Amino acid sequence: MSIDFHFAWQTLLDGWPLFAYGIAMTLAFAFVGTACGLVLGLIIGAIHSMEIDPLDSTFKKILKKCGHVFTSLYVWIFRGTPMMVQAVFLYYLLKPILNWDGLTAGMIIISINTGAYMAEIIRSGIQAIDPGQSEGAKALGMTNAQTLFSIIFPQAIKNSFPSIGNQLIVNIKDSCMLNAIAVTELYFQATSIAGSTMKYTEIYMLVAIMYLILTSLATAILHFIEKKITHTNQVSVMDNCA
Amino acid sequence: MEHVIEIQHLKKSYGNLDVLHDVNLSIDEGQVMTIIGSSGSGKSTLLRCINLLEIPTGGTIAYRGKKILDGNMNINSYRSKVGMVFQSFNLFANKTVLENCMIAQIKVLKRNKEEARQIALKHLSAVGMEKFAQASVTTLSGGQKQRVAIARSLCMDPDVLLFDEPTSALDPEMVGDVLEVMNSLAKEGLTMVVVTHEMQFAKEVSDVVCFMDKGYVCEIGTSDQIFNHPKEERTKQFLSRYMNDAS
């Protein structure tokens, strides 16, 4: 076992624009995937939390039932299969219809995949909220949608912030699976450089270090935000005591 | 005279368990009705049925002559007229005291922010909580939370206010503050239905006392009739046990 550190360094100096482009793409996939995934997760969470009320009209009952079935299927399928398989399957399946490129397909697929995880994260975030609050809102005449958006979601997102942040870290790494549909993110760049130089150990060591730096930075930023959220809470407690 | 709320043959069951068998009641304008009875007698379920937090299995509920269970009535606008104060307060944890009192005014009654603010502050000061307007509700004591919850309901200008054991989750020394607020609301002529275990309070403020037992209204009458001259054996038993427990 030997690693040619000199070669690795030289490759980094010569090939940095390729790596930089790869990193930019990886981050773009991670952020877009996490943000769109969160929105999807909230929508799924909202549909999932709709209770079937005995006073609803038959049409409304059927609509809600279909919503429940749809959201369960969605989470079941996209959490239960590897993203790489989803990417290749959906990309080629829909290419004749949508005529999309790898970049668009990749963005959409990572969002849909993340959405399935976010739906579960939001669901448990909602479960952690005392159901009395929804009841309080109901008793004031607020609609389900008003209650969700003003009362439930803000608290669910806050409760789930660590898990949502974790999903960003996961996406930084897992976006590498999108190389299967020829998206030029960091892993794809590494594969091409390694292929042309035949120096696999050195190139993948470089890439591993780059991923580690990206995830460490993201972790640090998330910790900072998390601290800030809890800190504002503590301040408001102090204010009230005074 | 038209009743504010009229309940006829109300039934509620969960599976095979019948909680309310056949409840008939009417509540008139400005009346204070207390519902007493032992745990499991269906008091809270009855109250929750009135607000449609539980959907009755049978019978009718009419609000100012309009039947509310046949689907022709907008449930949300009905609920904004029939307020509810809960045992566990049910305040919004992500909002300040003032925001708790404003949000439904803005979302449901479509009042503008400034108007909602003024109304909220008016009711908060009536319950002695205006100093805490900017506080987060998670920092309040139980008695303070309940007073905020009452103010929040009052902001909706309710036609009737329902109280579901409003003092049962409170420390003994907090109970007085909340009962005092309720007492003054009763004096102002607010129509109230109160499920309570505070017999002294029930005796003092009630126009009508309703004693429930095993899902039926066992006896109903004025405060004097029920507390001083109960007719039914179950009522006598319940009250004597209660008075013994209290002493």
**A contacts of B169 (beta carbons < 8 Å):** none
Name the β-bridge partners of B32.
B192
Q: How far apart are CA A156 and CA A203, in angstroms?
A: 42
Cβ(A110)–Cβ(A178) under 8 Å?
yes
**pLDDT average, residue stretch B183-187:** 92
Least confident of A95-99, A129-133, B71-75, B110-114: B71-75
Q: Residue B27's domain spans which residues? A: 3-245
pLDDT band at B165 (very low <50, low <70, confident <90, very high): very high
Distances (CA, A) of A193 to A8, A15, A172, A184: 11, 8, 20, 12
- Select the more confidently predicted residue: B168 or A234: B168
**pLDDT average, residue stretch B101-119:** 95
Q: How far apart are CA B10 and CA B24, in angstroms?
A: 7
**pLDDT average, residue stretch B49-53:** 92
pLDDT at residue B246 above 60? no
- The helices-and-strands tally (H runs, E runs) of chain A is 10, 0
Q: How far apart are CA B209 and CA B202, in angstroms?
A: 7
Q: Residue B237 sits in a domain of what CATH number?
A: 3.40.50.300
B144 interface with A at CB cutoff 8 Å: no
- Per-residue model confidence (pLDDT) at position B164: 95
**B contacts of A237 (beta carbons < 8 Å):** 136, 138-139
Fold exhibited by the domain A5-241: MetI-like fold (1.10.3720)
Q: How far apart are CA A207 and CA A172, in angstroms?
A: 13
Q: How far apart are CA B242 and CA A200, in angstroms?
A: 83
Closest chain A C-alpha to B131 CA, distance in angstroms: 10
Cβ(B113)–Cβ(B98) under 8 Å?
no
- Cβ contacts from A onto B, under 8 A: 91
In A104-121, which positions are buried (b, 16+ CB within 10 angstroms) versus exposed (e)? ebbbbbbbbbbbbbbbbb
From the list B79, B93, B94, which residue is nearest A140 (CB)?
B79
Percent of chain A with pLDDT over 90: 60
- Per-residue model confidence (pLDDT) at position A1: 66
pLDDT at residue B1 above 70? no
Number of C-beta neighbours around residue B31 at 10 A: 20
pLDDT at residue A235 above 70? no
B52 interface with A at CB cutoff 8 Å: yes
pLDDT tens sequence across A110-144: 999 999 999 999 999 998 998 899 999 999 999 98
pLDDT tens sequence across A22-64: 999 999 999 999 999 999 999 998 888 887 777 777 888 899 9
**pLDDT average, residue stretch A217-242:** 69
Domain regions of chain A by residue span: 5-241
Beta strands in chain A (DSSP E): none
Interface test with A, best of B74, B94, B146, B153 (most A CBs within 10 A): B94
From the list A133, A139, A237, which residue is nearest B83 (CB)?
A139
pLDDT tens sequence across A7-31: 888 888 888 899 999 999 999 999 9
**pLDDT average, residue stretch B100-128:** 95
pLDDT band at A236 (very low <50, low <70, confident <90, very high): very low
Q: What average pLDDT does the structure give for chain B?
A: 91
**pLDDT average, residue stretch B90-112:** 94
Q: How far apart are CA B27 and CA B5, in angstroms?
A: 5
Number of C-beta neighbours around residue A5 at 10 A: 10
Closest chain A C-alpha to B166 CA, distance in angstroms: 13
pLDDT tens sequence across A140-172: 999 988 999 999 999 999 989 999 999 999 999
Portion 146-205 of B in contact with A at CB < 8 A? 149, 152-153, 156
pLDDT tens sequence across B194-244: 999 999 999 999 999 999 999 999 999 999 999 999 999 999 999 988 776
- Per-residue model confidence (pLDDT) at position B16: 87
Number of domains in chain B: 1
- Per-residue model confidence (pLDDT) at position A234: 43
pLDDT at residue B72 above 90? no
Name the β-bridge partners of B35.
B195, B210
H or E element at residue B6: strand B5-14
From the list A143, A151, A241, which residue is nearest B92 (CB)?
A151
Q: How far apart are CA B213 and CA B196, in angstroms?
A: 14
